């Protein structure tokens, strides 16, 4: 996951609506079913999906009243903590 990308997507949600991300995720998840995709292409799609879900999680924290910067940092700490385990 890339923090700058999650931050950018979070700003997109602020300026538009999170439904756009939800629908984009649905499209990308459906694309993963294409049998002719190469592993590298699936990896890219998976990374995009992960970043979009990350932005949705950050957005949920912001809705609860957490500052965006704190929500972003908290999310990345959780991700890094889960990788270390």
Instruction: Measure the CA–CA gap between 29 and 11, rounded to whole angstroms.
Output: 22
Residues 6+ apart with CB under 8 A from 71: 58, 61, 62
CA dihedral 54, 57, 61, 64 (to 10 degrees): 160
Confidence of residue 76 (pLDDT cuts 50, 70, 90): confident
* pLDDT tens figures, 5-61: 999 999 999 999 999 999 999 999 999 999 999 999 999 999 999 999 999 999 999
Check whether 81 has a pLDDT greater than 90.
Answer: no
Q: What is the pLDDT of residue 43?
A: 96
Positive/negative CA dihedral, 54, 60, 63, 66: negative
Instruction: Measure the CA–CA gap between 62 and 55, rounded to whole angstroms.
Output: 10
């Amino acid at each position: 996951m890339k923090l700058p990308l999650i931050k950018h997507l979070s700003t997109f949600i602020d300026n538009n609506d999170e439904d756009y991300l939800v629908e984009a995720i649905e499209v990308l998840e459906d694309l993963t079913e294409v049998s002719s995709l190469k592993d590298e292409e699936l990896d890219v799609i998976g990374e995009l999906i992960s970043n979009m879900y990350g932005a949705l999680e950050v957005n949920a924290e912001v809705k609860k009243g957490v500052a965006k910067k704190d929500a972003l940092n908290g999310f990345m700490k959780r991700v890094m903590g889960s990788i270390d385990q």
